[in-house]
Structure 1
Amino acid sequence: MKFSEIENINDMKNLFSANSENYERFRPDYPDALYKYIFQYVRSFDQAWDCATGNGQAAKYLSTVFKQVEASDISDGQLDNAYQNFNIHYRQSPAESTPFKDNRFDLITVAQAFHWFNFEQFFREAKRVLKPGGVLAVWTYDLLKIEDRIDQAIGDFYHNVVGPYWESERKHVDRRYGDVKFPFRHVQTETFSIKKEWSLQQLIGYVQTWSSVAKYQKDHRENPVNALHDQLKQLWTHGVYEIIFPTTVFVAFEDQ
């Protein structure tokens, strides 16, 4: 199921709209170091496009450094809960076909959503709307790390309980987008760590946003996270733990 497969667009919208408020509350944001790494390749801070913006986490940061930010998503539920600022303009649009004019953007960002795209069509669209010398930045984060016993329980849940309910596109995340060929002359890659201090309830809130959980719940008429919660309560011996999301970013451009 891709953004470009119009016959399935409502399925994709529903997948992310149903949990849009939880996305805003529980999805991790991204470290300053990641943005600063990207910005070193950006020539001008006039126009940015945050594609598949979700609740606007990346758009929020971009709005502090760019004059104007366009932020698009196919989910109206996500957009209804997105961060608002005077220089962010939200629109409902698929990634692969937009109303933007040619050669408009200095930077395009895609945060934890690129795997849903039709890669070939999106790359064509990105090249069309980027200015000469413009930059495309794409990043993804892996399954979180806490400590061995908790990691094993979450890993079993991820792979074995809700594993069959992940969309096939999830394999690109598991491979850290290493299986994707970026058709640009220059592609720079760097790794970062998203670090959060979370309680068990915050962790459970995050897991509840997984698309595989929503699909499992729809098929079985029960929430699989309840059993995971019961299991983790036996392992969660501190009030809060440091949660680490290993993150990989790709910065692509033709010329600098």
Structure 2
Amino acid sequence: MAIQMFEDRGHAAVYQKYRFAPGKELQQTILSYLREKKAIPAELAVDVGCGSGQGTHFLGEHFKKVVGTDISKAQIQEAKDTPCMPNISYLVCPAEELPFEDASVDVLTSFTAAHWFDTERFMREARRVVRPGGCMAISTYTVDMSLRYGDCSQQLTKAFRECWDKILKYSNDRLKYVLDDYKEIFEALPFPDKKRVTDIYDSIPMTVEGVVGYMESASPYQTFKKNDPTAATSLLQETEKRMLETMGVSSRETMMEFWVRHVCVLGCKEC
């Protein structure tokens, strides 16, 4: 069964507020592959482990019907409470028990979630529901982010990463899949026609508040906060202050570039 890390309603609300949608380069990587495999236009896309729906919204622009699924009731409620296109719907279910008929799904996706799944059971279920000639696109952003702002990008990134490294000490063991650039997940993909792209870079416009909020939304931070709430809160407050001082600004709404590297596993089921 999938690891459940985002069940708390407060955590889900932070996740919805601060997590970002797939960047343009990741979107183009996925769409180019689907066009190459003639998987679009298509009827049904299913986004597994959709959280509060950031990736699901992207799919809504390209498919007739999109269903986002997640094991967390709190996350699905946040997704339902967020305005979206009328062709998008959500439901609560485990990634390993998808309520779709055999060979009924044209495209199956998962954005920054597959490392929480029971890989073997999820892949078996994916093979069952994806139609012949259908595709899978499984991606994650990695932990080696960087920040850019004027001529202080190096110092700003240093402040961010020193904080981030302290937070990552509270990571679940499943982080190993991300640190390995989804190599194990790629190898487990049950389709012989597959590839893994590890060098997709996206610049996400983000405020200082947004960067700090992103760290707050991360599951390791939530674990840190449960263990030592005072230290966890102080760490983010001190990091925000340090970032503002480095940038020479006072407003938390000051914009910067948040650079992320994506890994994407792509596969097409044999006809």
What TM-score, normalized to structure 2? 0.84
1:202 is matched with 210
Question: Deviations 1:101-137 (Å, cap 9, x if unpaired)?
Answer: 1111010000000100111100000000000111110
Aligned partner of 1:14 among 7, 10, 15: 7
Aligned partner of 1:151 among 153, 157, 166: 157
Check the 8 A contact 1:73/1:91 in 2, yes or no. yes
Deviates more, 1:32-41 or 1:45-54: 32-41
AA at the equivalent of 2:156: I
Q: Equivalent residues in 2 for 1:57-72 (5 A)?
A: 57-72=54-69
The count of corresponding residues between Structure 1 and Structure 2 is: 247
| SS of structure 2 residue aligned to 1:91 | strand
Structure 2 unmatched ranges of 5 or more: 148-152
Q: How many angstroms apart in 1 are the aligned matches of 2:47 and 2:237?
A: 34
Structure 1 unmatched ranges of 5 or more: none
Check the 8 A contact 1:28/1:194 in 2, yes or no. no
Check the 8 A contact 1:51/1:73 in 2, yes or no. yes
Q: Equivalent residues in 2 for 1:229-244 (5 A)?
A: 229-237=240-248, 239-244=254-259
2:74 is matched with 77
Identity of aligned residues (%): 23
1:167 is matched with 172
Check the 8 A contact 2:70/2:94 in 1, yes or no. yes
Check the 8 A contact 2:168/2:221 in 1, yes or no. no
Q: How many angstroms apart in 1 are the aligned matches of 2:34 and 2:190?
A: 20
Q: How many angstroms apart in 2 are the aligned matches of 1:27 and 1:13?
A: 13
Q: How many angstroms apart in 2 are the aligned matches of 1:55 and 1:71?
A: 9
Question: Deviations 1:81-110 (Å, cap 9, x if unpaired)?
Answer: 214332222110010112211111010000
CA distance 1:252–1:35, change in 2 (3 Å): closer
The runs of 4+ residues in structure 1 deviating greater than 3 Å are: none
CA distance 1:170–1:189, change in 2 (3 Å): same
| SS of structure 1 residue aligned to 2:97 | coil
Question: Deviations 1:196-236 (Å, cap 9, x if unpaired)?
Answer: 22221121111111111111111112223122223323322
For residue 170 of structure 1, report the CA deviation from its aligned partner: 1.3
1:43 is matched with 39
